[in-house]
């Protein structure tokens, strides 16, 4: 048994297709199939059920693949330890981030990371929260940037910053002329929300619950940009996080942004990694750079369109 054969089994467990697993492993399909059969012969058990249309792992195969994935993750950790010993700020980091934050935070953070860690190769993976958590647990990501709360005792949580929400409304909406909003102003309003699986949907639903608002029926967006365009088209109103309305993001026509009175609804962003990781000191340094994002980017002050600037405020951390 060798690590290469274990990696083939893990790839097969992930793709459930010999051709795609071989492509992901950079070998031919016959080579991968032959090595899987050799692994089965060596272990003396069937690992794969071969059917005409798809590949299924046996119960034993699934369990061995799960353990093989952990072994390969540990091997990667060993290599990382050696690399960090030679040069603590070089090597490759696989970082996950969720879609309603990545496009808006990364343009401000990546140049700072490149300046601070010029030899670092940062591989970014944009996925919904549950997928990022799954990949962290499985070892296919080194760290992730997610919205709190995250309930997983195996992960270390490093708080980064709090990001307030603004209300986005069409220009002719009754709330467009408001200088500041109270939560009760949303009472009986119906908001446009994202589809299931986005953490921003859960956060918006929590705001709706606190304010006595509801969800606009018959529509769920696949992205934050779709929500913005639906507001522009007079379909409804929605919540947008502060980073999503800051330059270089262009303002959309017919979209008014209205701030909330303090304490504004917000989301808390953190960086997470496995507690077992040998790279904790480096991740702490990485988090410090991300945490140092300019304060004005994380303030709703000055975001409101068509309204005078209000007195700056910072929303207190949520409990």
Which pLDDT tens digit goes with each residue over 229-266?
999 999 999 999 999 998 888 888 899 999 999 888 99
* CA pair distance 253, 92, nearest whole angstrom: 41
Task: Using CB atoms within 10 Å of the CB of residue 55, give its burial: 0 to 12 exposed, 13 to 18 middle, 19+ buried.
Answer: buried
pTM value? 0.71
Q: Going from the N-terminus, what domains does the chain have, and what CATH number goes with each?
A: 3-82 (1.10.10.10), 89-302 (3.40.190.290)
Q: Cβ atoms within 10 A of the Cβ of 207, count?
A: 20
- Residue 61 predicted with pLDDT over 50: yes
Q: What pLDDT sits at residue 316?
A: 40
SS3 content of the chain, % helix, strand, coil (to 5): 45, 20, 35
Q: Is the pLDDT of residue 307 over 60?
A: no
Q: Three-state DSSP class for 116?
A: helix
Instruction: Sort strands 155-170 and 120-126 into parallel, antiparallel or unpaired.
Output: unpaired
- Tens-place pLDDT, residues 120-142: 989 999 999 999 999 999 888 99
Pairing, β 155-170 against β 180-181: unpaired
Confidence grade of residue 310 (pLDDT, cut at 50, 70, 90) = very low
159 band by pLDDT with thresholds 50, 70 and 90: very high
Kindly give the residue spans of alpha helices, DSSP state H, lying in the chain.
3-15, 18-25, 29-43, 59-86, 102-116, 129-138, 199-211, 224-232, 280-291
Contacts of 177 (CB under 8 A, 6+ apart): none
């Amino acid at each position: 048994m060798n690590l290469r054969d274990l990696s083939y089994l893990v790839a097969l467990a992930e793709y459930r297709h010999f051709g795609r697993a071989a492509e992901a492993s950079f070998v031919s399909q016959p080579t991968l199939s032959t090595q899987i059969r050799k692994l089965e012969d060596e272990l003396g058990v069937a690992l794969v059920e071969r059917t005409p249309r798809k590949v299924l792992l046996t119960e034993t195969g699934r369990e061995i693949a799960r353990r093989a994935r952990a072994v390969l993750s540990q091997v990667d950790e060993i290599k990382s330890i050696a690399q960090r010993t030679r040069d603590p700020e070089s090597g490759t980091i696989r970082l996950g981030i969720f879609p309603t934050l990545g496009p808006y935070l990364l343009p401000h953070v990546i140049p700072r990371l490149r300046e601070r860690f010029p030899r670092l190769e940062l591989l970014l993976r944009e996925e919904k929260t549950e997928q990022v958590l799954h990949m962290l647990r499985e070892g296919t990501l080194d760290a992730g940037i997610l919205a709190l709360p995250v309930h997983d005792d195996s992960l270390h949580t490093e708080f980064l910053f709090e990001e307030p929400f603004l209300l986005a409304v069409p220009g002719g909406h009754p709330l467009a002329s408001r200088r500041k909003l109270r939560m009760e102003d949303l009472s009986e309003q119906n908001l446009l929300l994202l589809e299931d699986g986005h953490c921003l949907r859960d956060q918006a639903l929590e705001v709706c619950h606190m304010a006595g608002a509801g969800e606009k029926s018959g529509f769920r967006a696949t992205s934050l940009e779709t929500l913005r365009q639906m507001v522009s088209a007079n379909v409804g109103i929605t919540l947008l996080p502060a980073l999503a309305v800051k330059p270089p993001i262009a303002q959309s026509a017919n979209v008014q942004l209205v701030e909330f009175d303090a304490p504004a609804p917000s989301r808390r962003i953190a960086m997470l990694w496995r507690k077992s990781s040998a790279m904790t000191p480096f991740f702490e340094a990485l988090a410090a750079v991300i945490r140092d994002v300019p304060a004005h980017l994380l303030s709703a002050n000055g975001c409101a369109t068509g309204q005078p600037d209000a007195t700056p405020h910072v929303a207190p951390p949520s409990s």
